[in-house]
A and B are shown apart, each in its own frame.
Chain A
């Protein structure tokens, strides 16, 4: 703490201001938006017109700018003793890279959201002040969850990190249920239930770990707990708690229910930025590279692979492009989880693995963000040349499938690290999982194509220019990712030509399988004969129904002992009442004795005095 405190004195004032405003500026805007929302409630003044004013748009889009500036400015950690139990914010090391990534994604999604929300809320034709009210509520929660995202990246102290994480989680809950449809409410319910369970596990892990290490700093907690006997339970709690956010198989059920129902730009930041917060949690808290945790590593590898494959199979059978994309997120995070598992098994490999994982996360975040933003372009009639549209849709999809841009880089980097570590079978399994990714990508694009054709038949306006601009900005940011990420020097941006076939073949295989299966279905006539609705639909959120059933059964089972206990307490209470009733009955009896005492009082007193004298005489 003292070293850091000295550093704080040296931290340049400009950087202090920048890093503070990285978190506070979105919060100020959130407060202002909330103010407009409530002002609207009471006085009904601002309208959708205000939302579309250039100055409001500029303010709205300025929210992530201080974060971007702080990430590039760089400086020593900033210490704030007054904040919580002492806050330390920094952009050193991977925090700077993550902050750039978060800020870029939020900027692109923000531009998109500004147009998307105006179009959507105004288009719904809601009565009077409903549209602006909902717009400014969305704005407040959007900015608040953005602030949370930035805070959890820069905070080096546990309370600050947890504050950012919670701010992001709970604000995003409201973003999920923003639309207010039944599906949104269901998705929001699944989201919040799992999020709260996750928060509980994270809290337990933090309290335990920080208590053992006697610190409030994330880095010191990692060091301190890695040497203690409780490293496994603490790590397991943190791994599972953050794993809920990261969508690890089994705990992922909320993800395909919640991500698709949010407004498109919110889905983009949910799938692009917020699930990365789970992974960031792992990176900041788990003692990977400090201690080998074979048990947890083994679980992580198996769960990760199960997610990578299972989500690909299940997701490619979905009919809503956003659900397919959400399952693709589960699948991709499965690969990341499995790679983390390798890091847990083999501490020696971590120094090489961690930059690759960072790259993987940023790559997935931006490309998945672009894909989700793209769904808002395809569910309305086309407004841009088909060529541009298809390039914008295909580039991130191809990148995620591993045949283009950052996808190639990531694939190649993962492969080389695993090859160096001798994990050949595992590497092969990941390659197989990539087939699933390409399957999902093709499926999503086909569904989006179908949606847009259907949209042409409806009377809706095409997507606003801001929507297209935000989407294309994200596509471009993802495209140049390996070049602008400063940490790619140890990783070759483009693999050698002779390695290309080995990286690209899974995508080709995926395409082939997709073609074969869809041909097969068509020729079997399943879809031709049955109306679409009659083919059984696989629910998004797969295991959710099972969990809900089990939870309901447990709750019903717990009712009985609870009632029994309550009954016992009641009986004690009734006993008390009966005792006092009995006492009340004794009183009249005393009343009957009263006249006796009154008449014989003198005699009784003389007798008592005599006895007293006798006793005194006897004992003296």
Chain B
């Protein structure tokens, strides 16, 4: 059994890692086999991750470790924080796969797309289960490389430019991250995640170095987490197909950056050291600037996906803000929002994709009358948008609640006006969409209508956003139940604050 436990994380990674070459080797026409491999891998992965979540709940530890060179280990380990991210990614991966199959129906280069898609998820799960910075960086860079082909999938000038920009940003971020990790190794020696007590012990006299390393790591991770001013790649990457946007914004890329920052603060430096060195305050201010800036910029965007992209810039920083609040409730907020933001934002991108794919709508001004033409998609969009604003019972409110009460508990009162302002700004850029969807008039034809599916659009496009919208509302309404994101986040927060 113990052997099984150490192989579990590897097994989870291998489900999609093995799927990738199989899919690459399939020809374009073998779409049935490809569908089966895709969905099979996604389902198996989800089941395995669920088993691990149950196992961790029961106190089983999953770890696989071997030395790469002396002093540097390759560690795959599942802890409560890791499976939170893994659970989110594997659940949303399944839904995104279904969505992508529907979305790319009949378009060229699907084998290439789904192959890299699988690699991308492999690396995300690797990031979730990485047990030290070395392993983390390995998968983090793999993620960069495997998403690039997805971003440029359409092959247009605009897509290639966005892809170039994406690589410029993320590779430079990677360099900073590696530099930080190497410096940390030089200062403190080999550290695996969770060894923060050791670091605390040797920190005396090394504060300047540790501060520099901290900000190198944060800057490196902040590129993917789209912290201002490192966010430039994200809005331009919205030219990618909708399932890729979902992947970038909710499942993998942005989340990997935010998750890395959580790891650095909680498991490398530890809460008390980060707090006593004053690093948290800086992180909190940076997050708040990002929150307000992203919302303010979203206001003036006329393209739906671009507006959503700036909204991501803003919303992902809630995670960092929660982490930087020195209070257990702040930790609950940051960790739960890791899941919450994913659920809401993926719904919005799915819906935006449905509008684009079914009706040819890309701009806010064209949304009039969509509520009548595509009611189910529109309900899902509305639910997620209200969630983003922070209206209960959707999950966005739960995040804001814990952020605000945590900030008050930590005497960081200035965070509260930031949250309120962000709510008002969110309303200011989401409600016009909702208003147009339900009350906007439509006199002319849709820009590019396709008659797909028996209902308003094809089933593969319709049900994933419905599922994620139900999750976004349900996980908030029933936040008190066991295994809700808040429940799990509370468990991790206890580990962080009461070790």
Which residues of A are interface residues toward B (Cβ below 8 A)?
38, 41-42, 80-86, 159, 162-163, 166, 170, 174, 177, 180, 185, 192, 196-197, 199-201, 203-204, 206-208, 210-212, 214, 230, 562, 569, 572-573, 576-577, 580
Contacts and interface: CB of A to CB of B under 8 A. Distances in A.
B400 A207 contact: yes
Interface in B442-490: 476-481, 486
A177 B416 CA distance: 32
B413 interface: yes
Given A85-B398, A572-B229, A204 B419 contact: yes
Interface in B412-426: 413, 416-417, 419-421, 423-424
B407 A159 contact: no
B401 A85 contact: yes
A208 B408 contact: yes
A352 B407 CA distance: 37
Given A203-B400, A210-B405, 10 more contacts: A84-B392, A163-B392, A196-B431, A200-B427, A204-B419, A207-B404, A207-B408, A208-B416, A569-B232, A580-B168
B168 A208 contact: no
A212 B390 contact: no
Contact of A41 (B375, B407, B419): B375
A203 B404 contact: yes
Given A199-B427, A576-B168, A204 B481 contact: no
B386 A170 contact: yes
12 contacts: A38-B375, A80-B480, A84-B477, A174-B438, A200-B424, A201-B420, A204-B417, A207-B403, A207-B405, A569-B229, A569-B232, A580-B168
Nearest to A34: B379
B136 interface: no
A230 B435 CA distance: 37
B392 A166 contact: yes
Nearest to A580: B168
A527 B477 CA distance: 59
Contacts of A166: 391-392
A92 to B, nearest CB: 22
B420 A192 contact: no
B194 interface: no
A207 B407 contact: yes
A386 to B, nearest CB: 40
A38 B455 CA distance: 12
Contact of A211 (B296, B372, B408): B408
A162 B407 contact: no
Interface residues of B, number: 46
B431 A230 contact: no
Nearest to B439: A177
A211 B404 contact: yes
The listed residue with most B CB atoms (<10 A of its CB), out of A86, A159, A208, A572, is A208
A212 B408 contact: yes
| A contact patch SS | helix
Given A196-B428, A211-B407, A569-B229, A85 B413 contact: no
Contacts of A162: 392, 397
B82 interface: no
A84 B439 contact: no
A335 to B, nearest CB: 29
A527 B381 CA distance: 53
B227 to A, nearest CB: 13
Contacts of A42: 375
A83 B397 contact: no
B40 interface: no
Nearest to A164: B392
A444 B479 CA distance: 49
A199 B149 CA distance: 43
A369 B435 CA distance: 28
A170 B477 contact: no
Contacts of B391: 166, 170, 199
Contacts, number: 112
B40 to A, nearest CB: 34
A159 B477 CA distance: 10
A207 B401 contact: yes
A573 B413 CA distance: 35
Q: Can you list the 5 inter-chain pairs with the closest CB atoms, starting with the nearest?
A: A211-B408, A207-B404, A204-B420, A211-B405, A163-B392
Contacts of B297: 562
Contacts of B403: 207
A41 B372 contact: yes
Nearest to B431: A192
A218 B427 CA distance: 25
Contacts of B406: 211
Given A82-B478, A207-B404, A200 B416 contact: no
Contacts of B407: 207, 211
B260 to A, nearest CB: 22
A206 B402 CA distance: 11
B360 interface: no
Contacts of B420: 200-201, 203-204, 207
A214 B411 CA distance: 12
B207 to A, nearest CB: 29
B21 interface: no
B3 to A, nearest CB: 39
Contacts of B408: 207-208, 210-212
B102 interface: no
A159 B397 contact: yes
B400 A196 contact: no
A139 to B, nearest CB: 15
A56 B397 CA distance: 35
A86 B404 contact: no
Contact of A84 (B168, B329, B479): B479
A247 B435 CA distance: 24
A163 B393 contact: yes
Given A203-B400, A207-B401, A210-B408, A83 B480 contact: yes
A138 to B, nearest CB: 13
Nearest to B417: A204
A159 B424 contact: no
Given A38-B375, A212-B408, A207 B419 contact: yes
A569 B476 CA distance: 37
B462 to A, nearest CB: 13
Nearest to B408: A211
B23 to A, nearest CB: 33
The listed residue with most B CB atoms (<10 A of its CB), out of A204, A211, A562, A572, is A211
A200 B421 contact: yes
The listed residue with most A CB atoms (<10 A of its CB), out of B427, B477, B486, is B427
Interface string B113-136: 000000000000000000000000
Contacts of A208: 404, 408, 413, 416
A211 B409 contact: yes
A200 B397 CA distance: 12
A182 B329 CA distance: 46
A203 B424 CA distance: 10
The listed residue with most A CB atoms (<10 A of its CB), out of B232, B329, B405, B476, is B405
Interface string B68-104: 0000000000000000000000000000000000000
Contact of A562 (B168, B232, B296, B478): B296
Contact of B398 (A84, A230, A580): A84
A162 B392 CA distance: 7
A203 B405 contact: no
B423 A203 contact: yes
A142 B400 CA distance: 28
B479 A85 contact: yes
B439 A180 contact: yes
Contacts of B486: 85
A204 B438 CA distance: 29
B204 to A, nearest CB: 34
B423 A199 contact: yes
Nearest to A558: B296
Contacts of A80: 480
B158 to A, nearest CB: 16
